[in-house]
């Protein structure tokens, strides 16, 4: 039994079953035993690989997008460049390298803010970036001002709640105890009359609150935001909560604190929260559509032209991994929002 499972069992005994958002936030963010708090989960030896860890081109193209957004903002001489959940810091490193080369004034103007709760990952980011940055626990702590907010595979780690229709009424899915083991259970909940027997819906109030806050900031000052994650462009029914360990799926109740726990992101709900906050949110794109429009093939060809056969084959594999239809290309989606009145950022369209 993991130390966190022991704590969770005690909590259930004293307080009753835990809604999934409470369980998820303990598993990921418990200050001592939470998944992200004490480990580096990335890479072949970790539990999963993210797009910036697949290829440097991912961060380079997002850097290009940010430079264009800053230009559309009127090239403010200082602005907050905010990343939510920077992981190892690879995406930011690749973005800044591109910016220093392609738009030195952008790099000069950017004040770096990293929103990161994990002390271990903060330290890795500090070493990776080797530049001045300010770390925050929450977006709310970033000072006011023009800003660009980026987030890759951040929202999937923010907790969700699930509701299930059983015996003609809605129940919340919770983690309880049975025969001295963790089990999933149902507790009656008020959720209105709609739905068919067996339906499962997911709500992520904590995700919507962050997206709304981004929207509010964009409504107060010039800015833009780019959110990338796996998920669906239109809200859909179904259980997408998943636990991952060493690149394979495991039960969400297995080894609490030792497995990554995420769910697919509902981009329709995120877009609505951004709009509610006062930003103009564009209809989302697939990662494939976004990266190809941003020049993934051209950048791959440029790097390939300077490389030997082995590196060329690797670049080809990386491109397929990021944009291939059956790989990350269609599963991952990209959402953009800008301040009202700013031009629609390429390659997005207005709805």
Residues within the interface to ligand SAH (CB under 6 A): 28-29, 36, 50, 52-53, 85-87, 91, 115-118, 121, 152-154, 157-158
Q: Which is nearer to ligand SAH, 334 or 342 (CB)?
A: 334
Backbone φ and ψ of 165, nearest 5°: -90, 120
C-alpha distances out from residue 245 to 32, 41, 46, 272, 321, Å: 19, 9, 8, 32, 20
What is the C-alpha separation between 41 and 87, in angstroms, rounded?
9
What the block records as the tokens of 71 is: 């230009």
Q: Which is nearer to ligand SAH, 210 or 338 (CB)?
A: 210
Which single residue brings its beta carbon nearest to ligand SAH? 85
Q: Which is nearer to ligand SAH, 106 or 154 (CB)?
A: 154
The answer to whether the beta carbons of residues 280 and 342 sit under 8 Å apart is: yes
The answer to whether the beta carbons of residues 35 and 43 sit under 8 Å apart is: no
**Smallest distance, ligand SAH to C-beta of residue 50, A:** 3
Q: Which is nearer to ligand SAH, 53 or 202 (CB)?
A: 53
The per-residue b/e assignment along 230-246, b for 16 or more CB within 10 angstroms, e otherwise, is bbbbeeeeeebbbbbbe
Cis status of the peptide bond prior to 164, with omega within 30 of 0: no
Taken in order 200, 204, 205, 208, the sign of the CA dihedral is negative
**Smallest distance, ligand SAH to C-beta of residue 211, A:** 13
What the block records as the tokens of 120 is: 């271990």
**Smallest distance, ligand SAH to C-beta of residue 65, A:** 15
**Smallest distance, ligand SAH to C-beta of residue 150, A:** 9
Q: Which is nearer to ligand SAH, 29 or 63 (CB)?
A: 29
Degrees (nearest 5) of the Cα angle 281, 210, 54? 80
**Smallest distance, ligand SAH to C-beta of residue 39, A:** 10
**Smallest distance, ligand SAH to C-beta of residue 127, A:** 14
In the chain the first and final C-alpha atoms are separated, in Å, by 50
**Smallest distance, ligand SAH to C-beta of residue 349, A:** 25
What is the C-alpha separation between 305 and 312, in angstroms, rounded?
8
Q: Which is nearer to ligand SAH, 64 or 121 (CB)?
A: 121
**Smallest distance, ligand SAH to C-beta of residue 66, A:** 15
**Smallest distance, ligand SAH to C-beta of residue 204, A:** 12
Stretch (H or E) spanning 274: helix 267-277
Q: How far is CA 164 from the centre of its chain?
A: 25
What is the C-alpha separation between 236 and 222, in angstroms, rounded?
32
The answer to whether the beta carbons of residues 342 and 73 sit under 8 Å apart is: yes
Question: Would residue 247 be called left, alpha or beta, if left means φ above 0 and alpha means ψ between -120 and 50 degrees?
Answer: left
Looking at residue 155, what DSSP letter applies?
A: G
């Amino acid at each position: 039994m993991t130390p966190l499972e022991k704590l969770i069992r005690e909590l259930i005994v004293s307080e009753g079953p835990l809604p999934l958002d409470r369980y998820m936030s303990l598993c990921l963010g418990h200050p001592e035993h939470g998944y992200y708090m004490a480990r580096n989960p990335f890479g072949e030896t970790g539990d999963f690989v993210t797009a910036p860890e697949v290829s440097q081109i991912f961060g380079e193209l997002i850097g290009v997008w940010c430079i264009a957004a800053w230009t559309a903002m009127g090239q403010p001489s200082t602005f907050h460049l905010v990343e939510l959940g920077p992981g190892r810091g690879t995406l930011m490193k690749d973005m800044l390298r591109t910016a220093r080369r392609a738009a030195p004034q952008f790099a000069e103007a950017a004040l770096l803010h990293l929103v990161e709760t994990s002390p271990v990952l903060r330290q890795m980011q500090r070493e990776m970036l080797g530049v001045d940055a300010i770390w925050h626990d929450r977006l709310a702590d970033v000072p006011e001002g023009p800003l660009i907010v980026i987030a890759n595979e951040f929202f999937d780690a923010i907790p969700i709640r699930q509701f299930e229709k059983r015996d003609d009424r809605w129940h919340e899915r919770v983690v309880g105890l049975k025969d001295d083991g963790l089990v999933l259970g149902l507790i009656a909940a008020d959720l209105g009359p709609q739905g068919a027997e067996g339906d499962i819906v997911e709500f992520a109030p904590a995700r919507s609150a962050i997206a709304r806050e981004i929207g509010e900031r964009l409504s107060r000052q010039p800015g833009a935001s780019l959110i990338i994650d796996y998920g669906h462009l239109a809200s859909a029914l179904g259980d997408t909560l998943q636990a991952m360990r060493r690149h394979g799926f495991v039960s969400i109740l297995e080894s609490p604190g030792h497995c990554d726990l995420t769910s697919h992101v509902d981009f329709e709900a995120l877009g609505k929260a951004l709009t509610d906050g006062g930003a103009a949110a564009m209809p989302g794109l697939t990662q494939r559509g976004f990266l190809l429009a941003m020049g993934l093939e051209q950048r791959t060809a440029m790097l390939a032209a300077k490389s030997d056969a082995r590196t060329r084959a690797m670049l080809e594999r990386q491109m397929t991994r990021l944009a291939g239809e059956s790989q990350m290309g269609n599963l991952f989606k990209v959402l953009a929002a800008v301040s009202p009145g700013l031009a629609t950022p390429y390659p997005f369209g207005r709805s």
